[in-house]
Structure 1
Amino acid sequence: MKLSGEQVIELHGFNNLTKTLSFNMYDICYTKTKEEREAYIEYIDEQYNATRLTEILNHVSEIIGAHVLNVSKQDYVPQGASVTLLVSEGPITEVPTEHLAETPGPLPKSIVDHLDKSHITVHTYPEYHPQEGICTFRADIDVSTCGEISPLKALNYLIHSFDTDIMTMDYRVRGFTRDKTGKKLFIDHEINSIQNYIPDNVKEDYHMIDVNVYQEHIFHTKCKLKNFDLNNYLFGYTKEKLSEKEQMTITKQLKKEMDEIFYGKNMGVEF
């Protein structure tokens, strides 16, 4: 096992460290009518069905160096889906070096991907505001691995698998493993921020905040898209169909929704 740089640590037995990446992503949309809202939910349900989610999980397993043993998937009525992949840890030497850097999370329904002592889960939560026409689609992804496999290798792929307005990421290393002399090792790689595993071109697009507890090996990063174009948040039409007053009102509602999700608290009407 390489702990830092080219330093090689010989372990006593299996690497028992558990590395967990929790990834939340949010897609926000404005729907003017009930029919538009229903059409948006139907679109999301089709876009992130069980088949699409299975493809995403298969790629995640490949990137982190896992071998898929079994696949179970199910689409639900009226909406939602579940996928389960049983996998085992593959030889680390087979992981392509270009995948060692990053990956955020997908936007599917409900997924569980198991390694022998590890798992990958995805759950999706579409919802809408009862009065203001705001629709929010949230996906939760958890990648938890044991041994030398790292969930951070999948971060970049997950980020690029979905269009997202808000991302929240948590990474934690738990437990310990022992070197040949019996000394405990509580982490087996260097990290000071999840941002280390996010490409520069992605970081340029987001406002990012870190909250890290280094001594506990806990890392938290949240991201909010910098640029705002109202056309990207309207479903089925463009802002040219709206009056200036409507554009201003909808823009304020959408930005308020994004700020509340990003900062994790309710805000007043004016901000």
Structure 2
Amino acid sequence: MPDSLGTKLKLHGFNNLTKTLSFNIYDICYTQTDAQQREYIEYIDEEYNAERLTNILTDVADIIGANILNIARQDYDPQGASVTMLISEEPVLSQDRSNTESPGPLLPDAVVAHLDKSHITVHTYPESHPDNGISTFRADIDVSTCGRISPLKALNYLIHSFESDIVTMDYRVRGFTRDVKGRKYFIDHKINSIQNYIARDTLDRYQMIDVNVYQENIFHTKMMLKEFDLDNYLFGVQARDLDPADSRTIRRRLQREMLEIFYGRNLTKIPKK
């Protein structure tokens, strides 16, 4: 394990630092009628059912180099799904560069890790506004590892696995590990921002804000798509079929929804654009 100067450290026992990546993704949609709202929820439930989520988390386990010990999954009635995986370590097959500040792979094509007592979970939450046609889908994902590997290496793949209008991410390193002289290490890799683990094409598409507490090894990043194409947010109808006044109203409702989620508070005015 390299220290802050990049030299190799000899540990006393196992690296038991716990690294947890928690993030939420949001998909926003306008459903003009009750029927469209039901169809959207049915579409989301099918697109992100427990089987598909299991496949996504299996790929995550491959990316971070984990053995899957147990899988519990459930599709809920009337909507939503959950998957939980318990994972354990796999042998290191090549030089471990997993803690460098660089984006992880988009496909699980490399196994480089050493972890134990770890888990991956995902829960989905489809919901809708009672009276203004807005429907949202949220997925909460947690990747918690113990050892050398950082779950941030799975972030690039996860972002590309979901239709993400808004993403909020938290990364924290807990506990400590010791070297052979007894000195404690509360983090075993350099990190300035979660953004450094996201590919450039993704960074270019999103507006981003960081809120980091470096002394506590807590890192927070949130992202919102920069470009707004109304057709990407309509379900069962196209923008050209809408009355111009209706189109403006729907656009403001959608943008308000996105801004409220992004900033984490209710707005008193609908933004105009």
Mark yes or no: TM-score above 0.5.
Answer: yes
SS at match of 2:67: strand
- Given that residues 239 and 247 in structure 2 are in contact (C-alpha distance below 8 angstroms), is that contact kept between their aligned partners in structure 1? yes
How far off its partner does 1:69 sit? 2.4
Counterpart of 1:164 in structure 2 is: 164
Aligned-residue offset at 1:172: 0.6
Q: Is the 8 A contact 1:89 1:149 kept in 2?
A: no
Aligned-partner residue type, residue 60 of structure 1: V
Name the SS of the counterpart of 1:154 in structure 2.
Answer: helix
Mapped to 1, the partners of 2:104 and 2:79 lie a distance apart of: 27
Matched, 1:149 2:149: yes
Q: Is the 8 A contact 2:25 2:168 kept in 1?
A: yes
> Is the Cα–Cα contact under 8 Å of residues 156 and 197 in structure 1 kept in the other structure?
yes
1:168 match: secondary structure? strand
Q: Which runs of 5+ in 2 are unaligned?
A: 106-114
Q: Are residue 68 (structure 1) and residue 60 (structure 2) matched?
A: no
| Structure (1/2) with the larger strand percentage | 1
Return the offset for 1:7: 1.4
Instruction: Give the match for residue 25 of structure 1.
Output: 25
1:269 deviates by: 3.0
Q: Which residue of 2 aligns with 1:48?
A: 48
The aligned counterpart of 2:15 is: 15
- Identity, % of aligned pairs? 64
Shift of 1:225: 0.4
TM-score (norm 2): 0.90
Kindly indicate whether the alpha-carbon contact (under 8 Å) linking 2:116 and 2:147 is maintained by their aligned counterparts in 1: no
RMSD: 2.0
Partner of 1:125: 125
- Structure 1 segments of 4 or more deviating over 4 A? 94-100
**Aligned-pair CA distance for 1:97:** 6.4
Q: How many residues end up aligned between the 2 structures?
A: 261
Q: Which deviations, in whole Å up to 9, do the C-alpha atoms of 1:19-71 show, x marking residues without a partner?
A: 11111110000000000000000000000011101110100000011011233
Q: For 1:145, what is the secondary structure of its paired residue?
A: strand
Give yes or no for contact 1:65–1:94 (8 Å, CA) kept in 2.
no
Taking the aligned partners of 1:221 and 1:33, their CA distance within structure 2 comes to: 35
Unaligned runs of 5+ in 1: 105-114
**Inter-CA distance 98–89: structure 2 relative to 1 (3 Å threshold):** closer
Deviations 1:166-195 (A, max 9, x none): 110111111100001000001000001000
Superposition pairs for residues 96-245 of structure 1, below 5 Å?
Answer: 101-102=102-103, 116-245=116-245
Q: Output the CA distance in 2 between the equivalents of 1:213 and 1:72.
A: 34
State the secondary structure of the residue aligned to 2:58: helix
- Flag the 1:138–1:95 CA change in 2: closer, same or farther, 3 A: farther
Q: Distance in 1 between matches of 2:91 and 2:5?
A: 21
What is the letter of the counterpart of residue 22 of structure 2? S
C-alpha distance in structure 2 between counterparts of 1:160 and 1:255, whole Å: 22
CA–CA distance in structure 2, aligned partners of residues 68 and 62 of structure 1: 9
Q: CA deviation at 1:102?
A: 3.5
Question: What pairs up with 1:1-12 in 2 under 5 angstroms?
Answer: 1-4=1-4, 6-12=6-12
Deviation of the 1:76 alpha carbon: 2.7
TM-score, structure 1 length as denominator? 0.91
Inter-partner Cα distance in structure 2 for 1:126 and 1:146: 31
Give the aligned residue type for 2:55.
E
- Separation of aligned partners in 2, 1:233 and 1:95: 44
